[in-house]
Structure 1
Amino acid sequence: MITSLVKKQKDFFSSGSTKDLKFRKTYLKKLQKALTYYEDQICDTLYEDFKKPKFESLASETQFVLFELKEALKNIDSWSRPKRVSGTWINFPSSDWIYSEPYGNVLIMAPWNYPFLLSLSPLIGALAAGNTAILKPSEFTPATSGIITKIIAEIFPEEYVTVIEGGIKESQELLSQKFDYIFFTGSTKVGKIVYQKAAENLTPVTLELGGKSPCIIDNTVSIPVTAKRIAWGKFLNCGQTCIAPDYLLVHKDVKTKLVEALIKSIKELYGNSPQESPDLARIAHNSHYNTLKEMLIGEQLLFGGDFNDKTLFISPALVDEPDLKSKIMEDEIFGPLLPIISYDSEEDIKKHLSHYGKPLALYIFSKNKKFRERLLNGYSFGGGVINDTLLHITNSKLPFGGVGASGVGHYQGKYSFESFSHQKSIIKKRFWPEIPFRYAPYKVTEKIAKKLKYLFN
């Protein structure tokens, strides 16, 4: 089934239909209309899958996607238009251009933590660029995957866009096909598998992965504001956010005050009994829930850490000074557990940051501009925010992506369109005038060759 479906999509792409801008706009508008119509039902499925609060579903999933659609429809003409660039003297007279062309048949593999956003957002970029697409949503959020399948089937013929539901078996079968581009969001571990499979066919990829994103707090900050912004960024979606602060490195002089302020902020956000709060999601599936529970074994808790096995509830937990070799500091946490580690000098910060690979995000809370700039310029990471968390993903004019183990490539807005497009270089020449010195025999013109470098500028 999957093999024949891939062939149908490749044949449809070869027909040239998706290269027509009017065709692309028509289907993007249909998608926009359908998502607006189904928005409440989408929020209901997100709640069914892991009790995601409706505000979070709207703000971080459906409205985010609708904004991406609006941006694509507004800008698709200019994004698609050939871009003229300046030429060189060696080619004079000529006109030099960059043409954007779609890759062809693409595979989009989405995760479970933002199952709607991270399925539809890359899909919009793929369609705006003129590709056909197969979308593989997560099996761990079946209700949301189901409504995505329903919406896509209502709008698109399967030879243009279709959804393949299922688990590891279906993912393996998809990865055994020869796609023209693969877009994967998920863990670094699985990302490596996807990369290896793509390499067999030299298929280009975007990999949106993760890592242990640090949050550094010095002794110049406003403690109450810092605490509230960290608590919001960390516990949004119950900590199941790839760019959530994974651990805090806080100056020893303000650690006690920050912990007190964090506890106060958590209570303000979710009440004295977070389990009863309608504003805190649950863990998406059993396997990850059990992993998070294991992370707390043997750790010193400053606050929280309550569990409910029936509802997959974990309350926001503050963990005091875990060892770098502990389970909670081994891998990305991806849940409502927040390790707090004190530092005394920038050497201490370096020891911790250099222990891990390049993270997807880095956050710095400080009024000290020189300190901030040293950190920004001294470490490699995907993106970040000064004196807040998560917000860099909200600006579609900024590319979103990782580096090294946290990802390959980037997307969002125009960057999504570019990720799903091959940039084709074109030089246009006339038949006159004809420059004779480039042709053999070279004896007369060989002295000119050493000076050619000046003609390239």
Structure 2
Amino acid sequence: METSSVSPQPLGSAAMKAPEEESDGGGGKESMDGDAASRNPYAGLVNHLRTSWLSRKTWPMQYRVAQLEALGRFLEEKEEEILEATTLDMGKPHFETQLSEIFVCRSELNHTLNNLSTWMKDEHVEKNWAMQLDSAFIRKDPYGVVLIIGPWNYPINLLLVPLIGAIAAGNCVVVKPSEVSKNAERLMAETLPKYLDKDCFAVVTAGVEGTTRLLENKFDYIFYTGSPSVGRVVMTAAAKHLTPVTLELGGKNPCYVSDSCDVRNVARRVAWGRFFNAGQTCVAPDYVLCSLETREQLLPALREAIAEFYGPNPQESSSFARIIGDGQFQRVRALLSSGRVAMGGQTDAGTRYIAPTVLVDVQQDDPVMKEEIFGPILPILTVKSVDDAIAFINARERPLAIYVFSSCKQVVNQVLERTSSGGFCGNDTLMHFTLTSLPFGGIGQSGLGHYHGRFTFDTFSHLRATVLRGNGREALNKPRYPPYEPRHLPLLRSATQQRRHRSCALL
């Protein structure tokens, strides 16, 4: 990744570029006050947003709705620019951009606007006997000034969906698009600030060093989408200020195909999920596990599906994307040395093209099985049974998603019950990501926290426990005051202790 070296714009500007890095940049200190703050190029911006947040400007529902509606106008009025930017960055077909970037954002936005008034309401809770005359509820407060760092593979969706939730929850926000998807980054920096309140929302463009300096500042919440290695860096920076984080990472998502399935349907759905966006999708099926017999049926079905989707020469297809950059191209191309190429394998460095490729005879210690592929390569490994597949999955880091194909519900449920992953989808790929009613996120190596729909609002909200008691009835409080008298304990136990219900079907 490259680092921008343009001087920052004035404080009032909502878009800010990384300044020239000092020789000691990226070190960080325990706090950002005094001289340390004055040397940090983003301290003024963060302080300005914090002043806006403390003024409570972002708190009223009407303000949040107005900013969300402005974000909707951005998606509508800049649709052609979004399509052009993603095509320039990775040759992404307009259809895929519409489906995975614009449609998803609009769905998230509409769902949030439809439900925001309900989400913001105080949530009243169950009370014990001692507090029956009092009010106890959960207040949904915004965190404050939050930072959202987006990735390059879905530069609109994976930046704006968290932003929608952060705005809905009443926060001030700094968004940092990925510098790898240069055209999308430029679009966000130049146009998004024209739609949002510049006193409360800012776009920062920066590379590695600039982002490191940005992370030195005290934020109230950090939301990062990207690789596990950078996720550790973000979490380390957040720990200095005890800042809570959500980390949306990746991983090697297994796809088990049982012997009882419609092989042609499996091939189409797996090929679509693996080769969508040229495989540069964090929830794409990363490898297939199946028996040798099923593999021999699946291979011709995959060949047929690839030809149906992209024609006899996918390089000429307008429906197939390209690898984002030269470095990523070289990394993915090197993975073709694993196993044996059963179909595909063609590459073109000039256009960063790698054909939809299926690998067989792959070994567990091959390079393609040691890292997230993030490219149009699908390894197939053979296992003897569903038990072997489950053991294979459980011997590795918990993935972002697990996919299972089987005509037998028992097989699907068996994998669901005996494995652990961020998400799970039976008899399809990717589709669980599209539901705003489901939480999306990883577990362990694949991430921390979740979002989408109500879950995004909750992620960016502090659930504030609140009790409002009356000033009177002091006689009722006397049993808990010193000097303590043992005879008061039975009364206090009855008044404050939660009792267990006696009807338990398992006992």
8 Å contact from structure 2 (residues 189, 203) kept in 1: yes
8 Å contact from structure 1 (residues 212, 356) kept in 2: no
TM-score (norm 2): 0.88
In structure 2, the residue matched to 1:207 is: 247
8 Å contact from structure 1 (residues 223, 261) kept in 2: yes
Q: Residue 395 of structure 2 aligns to which amino acid in structure 1? A: H
Tell me if 1:250 matches 2:290: yes
In structure 1, the residue matched to 2:10 is: none
Please state how far the C-alpha of 1:447 moved relative to its aligned partner: 4.1
Equivalent residue of 2:463, what SS? Answer: strand
8 Å contact from structure 2 (residues 274, 284) kept in 1: yes
Tell me if 1:375 matches 2:387: no
8 Å contact from structure 1 (residues 129, 420) kept in 2: yes
Counterpart CA distance in 2 for 1:88 and 1:265 is 61
Distance 1:15 1:224, change over 3 A: same
* Bigger mean CA deviation after superposition, 363-372 or 172-181: 363-372
8 Å contact from structure 1 (residues 90, 456) kept in 2: no
TM-score (norm 1): 0.97
Distance 1:447 1:103, change over 3 A: closer
Tell me if 1:189 matches 2:223: no
Please state how far the C-alpha of 1:452 moved relative to its aligned partner: 4.5
Structure 1 residue aligned with 2:482, among 428, 434, 440?
Answer: 440
Q: Residue 85 of structure 1 aligns to which amino acid in structure 2? A: V
Please state how far the C-alpha of 1:16 moved relative to its aligned partner: 0.6
* Bigger mean CA deviation after superposition, 397-406 or 429-438: 429-438
Please state how far the C-alpha of 1:24 moved relative to its aligned partner: 1.1
* Bigger mean CA deviation after superposition, 429-438 or 310-319: 429-438
Counterpart CA distance in 1 for 2:78 and 2:493 is 65
Tell me if 1:5 matches 2:45: yes
8 Å contact from structure 1 (residues 152, 161) kept in 2: no
Tell me if 1:178 matches 2:218: yes
In structure 2, the residue matched to 1:92 is: 132
Tell me if 1:455 matches 2:497: yes
Please state how far the C-alpha of 1:215 moved relative to its aligned partner: 0.4
In structure 2, the residue matched to 1:264 is: 304
Q: Residue 456 of structure 1 aligns to which amino acid in structure 2? A: Q
8 Å contact from structure 2 (residues 432, 438) kept in 1: yes
* Bigger mean CA deviation after superposition, 289-298 or 118-127: 289-298
In structure 2, the residue matched to 1:38 is: 78
Equivalent residue of 2:191, what SS? Answer: helix
Tell me if 1:413 matches 2:453: yes
Counterpart CA distance in 2 for 1:311 and 1:114 is 20
Tell me if 1:386 matches 2:405: no
Structure 2 residue aligned with 1:121, among 154, 161, 180?
Answer: 161
* Bigger mean CA deviation after superposition, 131-140 or 152-161: 152-161
Equivalent residue of 2:320, what SS? Answer: coil
Please state how far the C-alpha of 1:299 moved relative to its aligned partner: 2.7
Counterpart CA distance in 2 for 1:216 and 1:94 is 54
8 Å contact from structure 1 (residues 182, 204) kept in 2: yes
* Aligned ranges 1:102-181 → 2 under 5 Å: 102-181=142-221
Equivalent residue of 1:221, what SS? Answer: coil
In structure 2, the residue matched to 1:343 is: 383
* Aligned ranges 1:215-234 → 2 under 5 Å: 215-234=255-274
Residue by residue over 1:41-97, the C-alpha shift from the partner in whole angstroms, topping out at 9 and shown as x without a partner, is: 111111011110001000100121112111121111111111112211232322221
Equivalent residue of 2:318, what SS? Answer: coil
Q: Residue 42 of structure 2 aligns to which amino acid in structure 1? A: I
Counterpart CA distance in 1 for 2:192 and 2:143 is 21
Residue by residue over 1:298-340, the C-alpha shift from the partner in whole angstroms, topping out at 9 and shown as x without a partner, is: 5311100110001100001101031111110001111100000
Tell me if 1:17 matches 2:57: yes
Please state how far the C-alpha of 1:428 moved relative to its aligned partner: 2.1
* Bigger mean CA deviation after superposition, 142-151 or 209-218: 142-151
Counterpart CA distance in 1 for 2:487 and 2:361 is 72
Q: Residue 64 of structure 2 aligns to which amino acid in structure 1? A: R
8 Å contact from structure 1 (residues 97, 425) kept in 2: yes
Counterpart CA distance in 2 for 1:213 and 1:453 is 50
Please state how far the C-alpha of 1:26 moved relative to its aligned partner: 1.1
Structure 2 residue aligned with 1:238, among 278, 282, 304?
Answer: 278
Please state how far the C-alpha of 1:293 moved relative to its aligned partner: 1.0
8 Å contact from structure 1 (residues 384, 390) kept in 2: no
Equivalent residue of 1:100, what SS? Answer: strand
Counterpart CA distance in 2 for 1:200 and 1:400 is 27
Counterpart CA distance in 2 for 1:388 and 1:173 is 42
Q: Residue 336 of structure 2 aligns to which amino acid in structure 1? A: L
8 Å contact from structure 1 (residues 213, 247) kept in 2: yes
Distance 1:86 1:307, change over 3 A: same
8 Å contact from structure 2 (residues 255, 404) kept in 1: yes
Distance 1:347 1:63, change over 3 A: closer
Counterpart CA distance in 2 for 1:148 and 1:445 is 68
Counterpart CA distance in 2 for 1:47 and 1:206 is 29
Counterpart CA distance in 2 for 1:142 and 1:264 is 35
Residue by residue over 1:198-251, the C-alpha shift from the partner in whole angstroms, topping out at 9 and shown as x without a partner, is: 111110011000110000010110111111011111110010000000000012
Equivalent residue of 2:53, what SS? Answer: helix
Please state how far the C-alpha of 1:348 moved relative to its aligned partner: 2.1
8 Å contact from structure 1 (residues 411, 419) kept in 2: yes
Structure 1 residue aligned with 2:373, among 319, 326, 333?
Answer: 333
8 Å contact from structure 2 (residues 129, 495) kept in 1: no
In structure 2, the residue matched to 1:274 is: 314
Equivalent residue of 2:85, what SS? Answer: helix
In structure 1, the residue matched to 2:26 is: none
Tell me if 1:306 matches 2:346: yes
In structure 2, list runs of 5 or more residues that go unmatched: 1-40, 500-507
Counterpart CA distance in 1 for 2:495 and 2:231 is 43
Counterpart CA distance in 2 for 1:412 and 1:20 is 22
Residue by residue over 1:340-395, the C-alpha shift from the partner in whole angstroms, topping out at 9 and shown as x without a partner, is: 01111234213421332010000010122222222111111001211000000111
Q: Residue 381 of structure 1 aligns to which amino acid in structure 2? A: S
Please state how far the C-alpha of 1:174 moved relative to its aligned partner: 1.1
8 Å contact from structure 2 (residues 248, 442) kept in 1: yes
Number of corresponding residues:
457
Counterpart CA distance in 2 for 1:102 and 1:210 is 28
In structure 1, the residue matched to 2:110 is: 70
Aligned residues: CA RMSD: 1.5
